[in-house]
């Protein structure tokens, strides 16, 4: 995973609230068995007309926002299904960070696990950034947890220290957890003694 | 004595493998249910890193999201899935399960069905367990007092490799529902009423425990419907404390404990309900006696109104962003403010999904349909049982005849038109009375307009061809 430190770039002033995962990536794209290439379906209902042609009005299709690394969204971004394809589609579209007042829990988890930074800022800060994004680039400094603009705006944000550590170092979460293999095995031993009904037929024995 | 704890806190504490300084916990996962859509990339990840699946015995696979619901076996032969991508996903699941030693319920097995119907039905889901699945309606299993939540594919891979997840504890929230439900008011109406009250993001960051006399009196199936929609209120999980009904439900299920282990398990399950004096970070009270049969009019499950009401106007909402959302929703739904909901014509009926596809749901719909026919303007009416076992039970009771005589199509189990990944879709511009859980833009197919209702209300709409107050049809 790529390490995320500081990002300066164009932000898409999208701003819609309650954008659900069906909007981010429609169900028809869930049929892939691989992670890449989903950007073509991202925001399909917004980017394309019913006949499949590109909707030039859509903000994502305006030349200055194509391939922009930052997306500014409204409240409750990524609500709806648990599909991780939403995060893969955004990443495939070129988005590296999102700024919104809130996210669904599942979406923010999925974003993080794919190296996407989901910045939470209050609505008034987001409103200001939506304005700025139409004329200038925005900077997200993860180390100092601050979003800045060329107009002296400065918005601090909170982030879970563990997530910050993983994002900044491009760490794989599974690898970190596997280092705690002994603790997991100890938990399983206790579980087997106190709640034997939880093991399936093969149980822990099979794992040796 | 330790501090009084809620049901959620007890389950959480019992699954902490390790607690970090920042409060993040490594949580052990007891039950992992998998399906064909959200797992291929996770298996791909295991292979790429050379990792093993830690507990195949705690993993159960069943294809459901994009299996066809039309006849699967003809002249003793399995019919191929028409859509090549769906066929690939279903075949990939089977191959991956064989490679990693996971039990896989075949598409043709009588036990096959929707993950959230199959898990409990098989006794795989159990009270006090942590249950995860790559589908956001995993909250359904909370009806049994299991801490159950949907996860994404990276988390599926994490559970595969470690049988754990790194999680931050949520805050416990109580939704107390008190009083008897009115005539023909269903658990689905309770679920919608709660979301209407707290909003689609009202439960974000919380785990909801549903308490109160209404929940205690509710059947297990009904509790599943309510917990199923916890996620539509923003909460990752919803829970109901296990009680005698819960224990009776699991007794004798294929994968439930037996004999001495059953006694041991049952004794543990009885310790789970929230202690007297346990506190919740937020409490909401719902008066069940005031709930009418409900229907959604917009594109968020919080856009809900009594069937006797009218389509609202954006001006009815205080917040400017909600006003804009309502305006868009009404345009998409093709509705005008002030229009009576009972005047809204529908063309499609869908009875199914993990919200409402269990035997009780089919009985409720059949009770309305008995001796009646589809209205002439209904283009498609589907009944999709939640599992093969539900289907068999319904056929034993003769419910299939009632549906078929009314003009419904009696299908094979799966997710079907809940999300339209298989050929069961609602065509663009058509309007569907649906017992599923999401009325999002394009959820049932591009341009489809969804009205969420209870099974009895869906049946009533099928008979009249418009959204209808079921209480006027039966009584
Ligand atoms: S029926 Fe719908 S909500 Fe339930 S598991 Fe299937 S797709 Fe998900």
CA distance B15 to B247: 21
Q: Is some CB atom of chain A closer than 8 A to the CB atom of B234?
A: yes
Q: Quick one: which H or E segment has residue B173? A: strand B171-178
Q: Do residue A197 and residue A119 come from a single domain? A: no
Give residue B354 CA to ligand 1 midpoint distance, Å: 6
Range of the domain at A194: 174-208
- Strands B59-61 and B103-104: what pairing? parallel
CATH superfamily assigned to domain B340-473: Aconitase, domain 3 (3.30.499.10)
How long a stretch of residues is chain A?
208
From chain A, the residues in CB contact with B134 under 8 A are 82, 84
Radius of gyration from C-alpha coordinates of chain B: 22
Q: Is residue A1 part of a domain?
A: no
H-type alpha helices, B15-110: 40-49, 84-100
CB pairs under 8 A between A and B: 199
Helix B153-162 vs helix B40-49: angle between axes, to the nearest 10 degrees? 50
CA-to-CA distance for B402 and B279, rounded, in angstroms? Answer: 48
User: Is residue A38 domain-resident?
Assistant: yes
Looking at the structure, tell me whether residues A94 and A192 fall in a common domain: no
Hey, which of B131, B357, B418, B439 would you mutate to test ligand 1's pocket, going by the most ligand atoms within 8 Å of its Cβ? B418
Task: Note whether B7-169 and B340-473 share their fold.
Answer: yes
pTM: predicted TM-score of the whole model, two decimal places = 0.87
Q: Residue A153 has what pLDDT?
A: 96
Q: Which residue reads 């942590």 in tokens?
A: B130
Top-level class of domain B171-243+274-290: alpha beta
Backbone angles phi, psi at A20, to 5 degrees: -90, 170
Which atom of ligand 1 has the smallest separation from the CA of B135? 8
Same domain, A36 and A76: yes
Q: Does B179 contact chain A (CB < 8 Å)?
A: no
Question: Contact B462/B408 with Cβ under 8 angstroms?
Answer: yes
Residue for token digits 């003769």?
A: B398
Residues A23 and A45 in one domain: yes
Residues A93 and A182 in one domain: no
**Are the CB atoms for B454 and B189 separated by under 8 Å?**
yes
**Between chains, do B325 and A22 touch, taking CB under 8 Å as contact?**
no
**How far apart are the C-alpha atoms of B16 and B242, rounded to whole Å?**
21
Per-residue pLDDT of chain B (475 residues; tens, 9 = 90+): 579 999 999 999 999 999 988 889 999 999 999 999 999 999 988 998 899 999 999 999 999 999 999 998 888 888 889 989 899 999 999 999 999 999 999 999 999 999 999 999 999 999 999 999 999 899 999 999 999 999 988 899 999 999 999 999 999 999 999 999 999 999 999 999 999 999 999 999 999 999 999 999 999 999 999 999 999 999 999 999 999 999 999 999 999 999 999 999 999 999 999 999 999 999 999 999 999 999 999 999 999 999 999 999 999 999 888 999 999 999 999 999 999 999 999 999 999 999 999 999 999 999 999 999 999 999 999 999 999 999 999 999 999 999 999 999 999 999 999 998 889 999 999 999 999 999 999 999 999 999 999 999 999 999 999 999 999 998 7
Select B7-169's CATH number: 3.40.50.300, 3.20.20.80, 1.10.10.10, 3.30.499.10. 3.30.499.10
* Alpha carbon distance B299, B156 (integer Å): 29
Q: Is residue A188 part of a domain?
A: yes
How many domains is chain A built from? 2
By Cβ distance, the residue of A20, A85, A197 closest to B264 is A197
* Coil, helix or strand at residue B51: coil
Give, in order, the Cα–Cα distances in Å from A165 to each of A5, A142, A147, B56, B457: 10, 10, 18, 31, 51
């Amino acid at each position: 995973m790529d390490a995320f430190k500081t990002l300066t770039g164009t932000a898409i002033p999208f701003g819609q609230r309650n954008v659900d995962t069906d909007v981010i990536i429609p169900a028809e794209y869930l049929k892939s068995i691989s992670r890449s290439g989903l950007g073509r379906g991202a925001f399909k209902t917004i980017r394309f007309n019913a006949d499949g042609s590109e909707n030039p009005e859509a903000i994502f299709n305006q030349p200055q926002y194509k391939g922009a690394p930052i997306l500014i969204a409204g409240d409750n971004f990524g609500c709806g299904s648990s599909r991780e394809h939403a995060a893969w589609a955004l990443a495939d579209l070129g988005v590296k960070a999102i700024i919104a007042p809130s996210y669904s829990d599942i979406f923010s988890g999925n974003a993080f696990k794919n190296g996407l930074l989901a910045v939470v800022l209050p609505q008034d800060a987001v409103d200001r950034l939506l304005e700025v994004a139409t004329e200038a680039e925005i900077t997200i400094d993860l180390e100092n947890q601050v979003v800045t603009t060329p107009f002296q705006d400065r918005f601090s944000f909170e982030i879970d220290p563990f997530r910050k550590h993983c994002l900044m170092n491009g760490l794989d979460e599974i690898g970190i957890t596997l280092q705690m293999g002994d603790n997991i095995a100890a938990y399983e031993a206790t579980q087997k003694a106190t709640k034997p009904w939880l093991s399936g037929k093969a149980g822990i024995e099979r794992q040796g | 004595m330790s501090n009084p704890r809620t049901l959620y806190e007890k389950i959480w504490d019992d699954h902490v493998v390790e607690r970090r300084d920042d409060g993040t916990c490594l949580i052990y996962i007891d039950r992992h249910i998998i399906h064909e859509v959200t797992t291929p990339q996770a298996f791909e990840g295991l292979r790429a890193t050379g990792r093993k699946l830690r507990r195949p015995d705690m993993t159960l696979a069943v294809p459901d999201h994009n299996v066809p619901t039309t006849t699967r076996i003809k002249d003793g032969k399995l019919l191929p899935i028409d859509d090549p991508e769906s066929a690939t996903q279903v075949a990939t699941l089977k191959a991956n399960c064989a490679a990693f030693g996971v039990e896989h319920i075949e598409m043709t097995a009588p036990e096959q069905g929707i993950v959230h119907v199959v898990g409990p039905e098989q006794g795989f889901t159990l009270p006090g367990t942590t249950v995860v699945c790559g589908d956001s309606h995993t909250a359904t299993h909370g009806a049994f007092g299991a801490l159950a939540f949907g996860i994404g594919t990276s988390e599926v891979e994490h559970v595969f490799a470690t049988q754990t997840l790194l999680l931050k504890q949520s805050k416990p929230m109580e939704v107390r529902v008190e009083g008897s439900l009115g005539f023909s008011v269903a658990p689905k109406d309770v679920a919608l009423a709660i979301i209407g009250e707290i909003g689609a993001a009202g439960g974000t960051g919380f785990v909801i425990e549903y308490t109160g006399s209404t929940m205690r009196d509710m059947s297990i199936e009904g509790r599943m419907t309510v917990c199923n929609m916890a996620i539509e209120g923003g909460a990752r999980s919803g829970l109901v404390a296990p009680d005698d009904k819960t224990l009776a439900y699991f007794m004798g299920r294929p994968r439930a404990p037996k004999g001495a282990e059953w006694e041991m398990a049952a004794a543990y399950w009885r310790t789970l309900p929230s202690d007297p004096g346990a506190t919740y970070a937020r409490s909401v009270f719902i008066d069940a006696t005031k709930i009418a049969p409900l229907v959604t009019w917009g594109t968020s499950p919080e856009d809900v109104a009594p069937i006797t009401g009218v389509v609202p106007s954006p001006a009815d909402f205080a917040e400017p962003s909600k006003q804009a959302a309502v305006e868009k929703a009404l345009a998409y739904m093709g509705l005008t403010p002030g229009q009576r909901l009972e005047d809204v014509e529908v063309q499609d009926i869908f009875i199914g999904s993990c919200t409402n596809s269990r035997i009780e749901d089919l009985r409720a719909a059949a009770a309305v349909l008995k001796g009646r026919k589809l209205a002439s303007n209904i283009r498609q009416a589907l009944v999709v049982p939640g599992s093969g076992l539900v289907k068999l039970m319904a056929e034993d009771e003769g419910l299939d005849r009632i549906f078929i005589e009314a003009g419904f199509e009696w299908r094979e189990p799966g997710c079907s038109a809940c999300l339209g990944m298989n050929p069961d879709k609602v065509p663009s511009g058509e309007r569907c009375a649906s017992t599923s859980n999401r009325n999002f833009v394009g959820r049932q197919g591009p341009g489809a307009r969804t009205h969420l209702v209870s099974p009895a209300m869906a049946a009533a709409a099928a008979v009249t061809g418009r959204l209808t107050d079921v209480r006027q049809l039966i009584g």
